Amino acid sequence: MSHDDFPTDRPAVVTCGLPYATGDLHVGHLRTYISGDVLSRALDTLGQNNAFVSGTDMHGTPVAVQAAKEGVDPETYALRLHEKYADTFPEFGIEFDNYSHTHDETNAELTREFVRAWIDNDHVYEKEIEVAWDPEVDEPLPDRFVEGTCPYCGEKARGDECDEGCQRHLEPGEIEDPTSTLTGNPAEYRTRSHKFLRLNDFKEYLGEFLDRLEGTSNARNQPREWVEGELQDLCITRDMDWGIDYPGESEEDLVLYVWVDAPIEYVASTKQYSERVGSDEYDWERAWKEDGEIVHIIGRDIIQHHTVFWPAMLRGAGYNEPRAVMASGFVNLNGKAFSTSRNRAIWADDYLEEGFHPDLLRYYLVTAGGFQQDVDFAWDRFQERVNGELVGTVGNFWYRSLLFAYRNYEGTPDAELSTEVRDRIEDAIAEFREGLNDYSLRETGAAATRLARFGNEYIQRNEPWKLEAESDEARQVIRDCVQIAKAVGVLIEPIAPGKAQALWDQLAEDGSVHDARLEAALAAPPRKFDEPDELFEKIEDDRVAELEAKLEERVASFDDGESSEDAEEGDGETGEAGGDADLEPLLADRIGFEEFQDLDIRVGRIEVAEGIEGADDLARLEVDVGLERRQVVAGIKQLHDLSELPGEKCILLANMEPAELFGVESNGMILAAGDEADLLTTHGDAEPGERIR
């Protein structure tokens, strides 16, 4: 790698974080892949030798679990998704030079080479650890599949971290009352021997690496804490069948951790590309082992993997290091996070089925905000950007210029490019180049739209429609405008490759705009071309209303009436997170006093609280309501420390119909507020049995 401005005379690699084979792609995922594609195309435009690669991440427990659920083997399952992804990307103009998957032999072989190199360089050691195990399915449980009680603060916690309580990191085996989230059964611990990559060998190196890393600032800063403190060595093996076998001495049932073979796929995929086109055209070994410019494009949730584990892995095997990591923000929907489980998302297929050109989404996602910022997707904002910038500014300028040129000159009029316009295009080229070297993709787009805006201003200022068509002055103005139109096409090609090619065709340019370099922006357009068409279409208001309604309907049907707030416009409300769910609207239907009187609400005291075996959320409570002791089932197992509840006062709806849940009879309903089930109680000294009115 180097710190020279692009283009350099070294091979570059642009990678995108691997999509994980467990679900469909939505526009949030697409942001990463579109950004990678834009960067790669922009580097092409600069004349940088580069490869754009990625692949599907096929290994790991979740794939195996998901496959088992569907009754197929993991490979079949993962390959099906792999093919789906491989088909989807080109539909958005995302054209990898190579797109493979981690189960491919190239990757398996290369991964084993990496691991052997670590072993040879003495970076790997073996240690016995306690592994959580689900006795029913006889599978080891990765940390995330274990829940229990934090030994420090007593809160409910995940296997690896007390995520809701004291935030402490938990070592395997520390958590109390471990249960499997797969089956709800108590988890066992078994002693297993595992392999570790000694990250501490690279501690000093990683600090220096972060100092020179380019890309987004979050990628440089976030891992600092780890690198400066005590690094936990990385456990690189798992007790599983599905994955790449650990290559050392015969450890039959150990496979490599997915985060080992996943990033190596970047290298494997590049190697495949190189082998396909020949090393004269692209030299993967130079790129990865010597001085290539490696740029990783990822979501900001996997920064650590790319700035700590991965550079250590490369270093340990004697490879080159990344030059830049660009960690993007997320995409929100109407101001709130996507929720795939509630179908609150715009799926890749949905977008295409609506008939929108992929370039519109590409433009929106790349220019809607800073790269490390979260961007909001909303159909009305999408409409605003498309109509204002692509239709109004770029499309309108392209069409009016080419139409005027066609009508009066049947192509580009015979005149020299004016100095003013030449200078302005050169400025735009410089802005594009500087933007790219700042890793600001939106700036490359802004350079193009600003130039189109200048074009509109230029044609307006010179009013060629008021001039004699055959006059030198009119020829000059239109020649300039056609040149600007062409230059905008060259500069916007990375973001809108389809539309840029359409313009190229209208200009009767030979070849592909994708091969055009920056110099093409100043090269004369063809003398003759045909009547142009409008390249961007307006999105009408009723179309937007329809799209919004469709989305609301879908989300609402998933919500099952439990929280209808999602069906509302997200007007002005800031995003929510944590326990503060958006408030449900107050009910408009009023009830009479008599109806209220029908509710027999009592003060109670919890005497017994225990989880119901086999149920995720349910707890069995015995509540003293003065006159008698009631057994009640409440969905609070996950939300409260049951051992602390006895003795607490609560509020009970006593005349609730009896119900049987998980074989346990429930005779009443404990009142609690919100998603976190904040239990209602009394402020004063009301005794169990007292009525609430």
Partner RNA sequence: UGCGGGAUAGGAUAAUGGCAGUCCACGGGGCUCAUAUCCCCGAGAUCCAGGUUCGACUCCUGGUCCCGCAACCA
Binders of RNA in range 57-96 (CB under 7 A): 57, 60-62
Query: Closer CB to RNA, residue 169 or residue 693?
Result: 169
Please pick, from the candidates 47, 90, 207, 388, the single residue that binds RNA as defined by CB under 7 A: 388
Asked if 527 and 483 count as a contact pair (C-beta separation under 8 A), the reply is no
Q: Of the candidates 651, 648, 635, 649, which has an alpha carbon nearest to the alpha carbon of residue 601?
A: 651
Structure-token pair, residue 385: 């950007």
Distance of closest approach, residue 444 Cβ to RNA, in angstroms: 14
**Shortest approach of RNA to residue 24 CB, angstroms?**
10
Binding status of residue 330 toward RNA by CB under 7 A: yes
- What is the nearest approach in angstroms of RNA to the Cβ of residue 561? 24
Strand partners, 691: 602
* 503 closest CA partner among 616, 403, 388, 628: 403
- 166 labelled ligand-binding: yes
- Which of these segments, 4-12, 559-567, 573-581, 588-596, binds RNA (CB under 7 A)? 573-581
Nearer to RNA, 6 or 338 (CB): 338
| Interface of this chain with RNA, residues 248 to 277, rule: CB under 7 A | 258-259
Name residues contacting RNA, limited to 487-546 (CB under 7 A): 534-538
Rounded Cα distance, 246 and 129, in Å: 17
Using the contact rule CB under 7 A, the part of the chain among 16-24, 120-128, 265-273, 280-288 near RNA is 16-24
Identify which range of 22-30, 98-106, 244-252, 646-654 contacts RNA by CB under 7 A: 22-30
Query: Segment near RNA (CB under 7 A), from 285-293, 323-331, 426-434, 658-666?
Result: 323-331
CB of 275 to RNA, least distance (A): 27
Among 12, 14, 15, 31, binds RNA (CB under 7 A): 31
Kindly report the CA angle at 128 between 127 and 130, in degrees rounded to 5?
A: 135
Of residues 121, 221, 279, 557, which one binds RNA by CB under 7 A? 221
Which of 57, 245 has the CB closer to RNA? 57
User: Any known ligand binding at 340?
Assistant: yes
For the bound state, the minimum distance from the C-beta of residue 540 to RNA, rounded and expressed in Å, comes to 11
Q: Note whether 218 binds RNA by CB under 7 A.
A: yes
State in angstroms the smallest separation of the CB of 154 from RNA.
12
Q: What is the DSSP track for 536-599?
A: --PPPHHHHHHHHHHHHHHHHHHHTTS-GGGGS---SPPP--TT-PPPPPPPS----HHHHHT-
- Total Cβ atoms within 10 A of residue 184: 16
* Shortest Cβ 283–RNA spacing (Å): 29
- 467 near RNA, rule: CB under 7 A: no
CB of 434 to RNA, least distance (A): 13
Q: How far is the CB of 534 from RNA (least distance, A)?
A: 2
Q: How far apart are CA 658 and CA 9, in angstroms?
A: 77
Sheet architecture: strand order including 156-158? 156-158, 146-149, 176-180
- Asked whether position 55 contacts RNA by CB under 7 A, the answer is no
Q: Which residue has the tokens 């007390």?
A: 162
**Total binding residues for RNA by CB under 7 A?**
87
What interhelical angle do 396-409 and 472-492 show, nearest 10?
Answer: 140
171 to 210: interface string for RNA, x by CB under 7 A: ----------------------------x-----------
User: What is the helix (H) or strand (E) element at residue 194, kind and residue range?
Assistant: strand 188-197
Task: Using the rule CB under 7 A, give the single segment among 106-114, 116-124, 286-294, 456-464 that binds RNA.
Answer: 456-464
Q: Is 17 in the site for RNA (CB under 7 A)?
A: yes
The answer to whether residues 356 and 496 touch, using CB atoms and an 8 Å cutoff, is: no
Q: In this chain, which of 41, 82, 156, 158 binds RNA, going by CB under 7 A?
A: 158
Query: What x/- string results for residues 281 through 310 when contact with RNA is judged by CB under 7 A?
Result: -----------------xxxxx-x---x--
Alpha-carbon separation of residue 138 from 141, 142, 188, 437 (angstroms)? 9, 13, 10, 52
Helix (H, G, I), strand (E, B) or coil at 423: helix
Find the shortest distance in angstroms from Cβ 509 to RNA: 19
CA distances from 265 to 106, 112, 343, 633 (A): 8, 12, 30, 50
Q: Show the tokens assigned to 244.
A: 């790449």
Work out whether 121 is an interface residue with RNA (CB under 7 A): no
| Range in contact with RNA (rule: CB under 7 A) among 46-54, 56-64, 428-436, 503-511 | 56-64
- 124-134 and 98-101 beta bridge pairing: unpaired
Smallest gap, in angstroms, from Cβ of residue 144 to RNA?
4
Per the CB < 8 A criterion, the answer to whether 38 and 367 are in contact is no
In the bound complex, what is the minimum distance in angstroms from residue 246's beta carbon to RNA?
Answer: 16
Report the residue number, 390 or 654, with the smaller CB distance to RNA: 390
Residues 427-446 that bind RNA (CB under 7 A): none
Binding test (CB under 7 A) with RNA, winner from 382, 399, 406, 409: 399
Considering only 6-14, 101-109, 167-175, 540-548, which stretch makes contact with RNA by CB under 7 A?
Answer: 167-175
Tell the smallest beta-carbon distance from residue 480 to RNA (Å).
13
In the shown chain, the binding pattern of residues 337 to 376 toward RNA, with x for contact by CB under 7 A and - for none, equals xx-----------------------------xxx-xxx-x
CA distances from 379 to 135, 230, 374, 522, 598 (A): 48, 46, 16, 36, 46
Cβ–Cβ < 8 Å for 421, 484: yes
Q: Phi and psi at residue 31, in whole multiples of 5°?
A: -55, -45
153 is in an annotated binding site: yes
Q: How far is the CB of 287 from RNA (least distance, A)?
A: 23
CA-angle at 281, arms to 275 and 282, nearest 5°: 60
From the list 225-233, 247-255, 427-435, 581-589, the region that binds RNA by CB under 7 A is 225-233
Instruction: Please give the Cα distance from 407 to 402 (Å, whole number).
Output: 9
Q: From CA 32, how far away is CA 14, in angstroms rounded? A: 12
Name the residue nearer to RNA (CB basis): 302 or 429. Answer: 302
Cα torsion angle, 622, 623, 628, 633, sign:
negative
Paired residues of 188 in beta bridges = 133
Tokens 């994708």: give the residue.
514
Quote the least distance from Cβ 250 to RNA, whole Å.
25
Q: Are 671 and 627 in contact (CB under 8 A)?
A: no
Q: Which stretch binds RNA (CB under 7 A): 142-150, 468-476, 513-521, 673-681?
A: 142-150
User: In this complex, which beta carbon is closest to RNA, that of residue 7 or of residue 17?
Assistant: 17
Is residue 586 involved in binding RNA (CB under 7 A)? no
Which one, 16 or 43, has the nearer CB to RNA? 16
Q: Using CA atoms, how far apart are residues 101 and 20, in angstroms rounded to an integer?
A: 10
Contact flag: residue 28 with RNA (CB under 7 A): yes
Q: For 285-323, what is the HEC assignment?
A: HHHHHHHCEEEEEEEHHHHHHHHHHHHHHHHHCCCCCCC
Q: Is 32 annotated as a binding residue?
A: no
Residue 619: beta bridge partners? 611, 634
Decide if residue 600 touches RNA (CB under 7 A): no
Answer yes or no: are the C-beta atoms of 298 and 36 closer than 8 Å: no
**On the CB side of 85, how many CA atoms lie within 13 Å of its CA?**
28
Kindly state whether residue 411 participates in binding RNA, applying the rule CB under 7 A.
no
How far apart CA 70 and CA 75 sit, in angstroms, is 12
Q: Which H or E element spans position 494?
A: none
Q: CB atoms < 10 A from the CB of 371, how many?
A: 23
Q: Which residues are annotated as a binding site for Zn(2+)?
A: 150, 153, 162, 166
Q: Which residues are annotated as a binding site?
A: 150, 153, 162, 166, 340
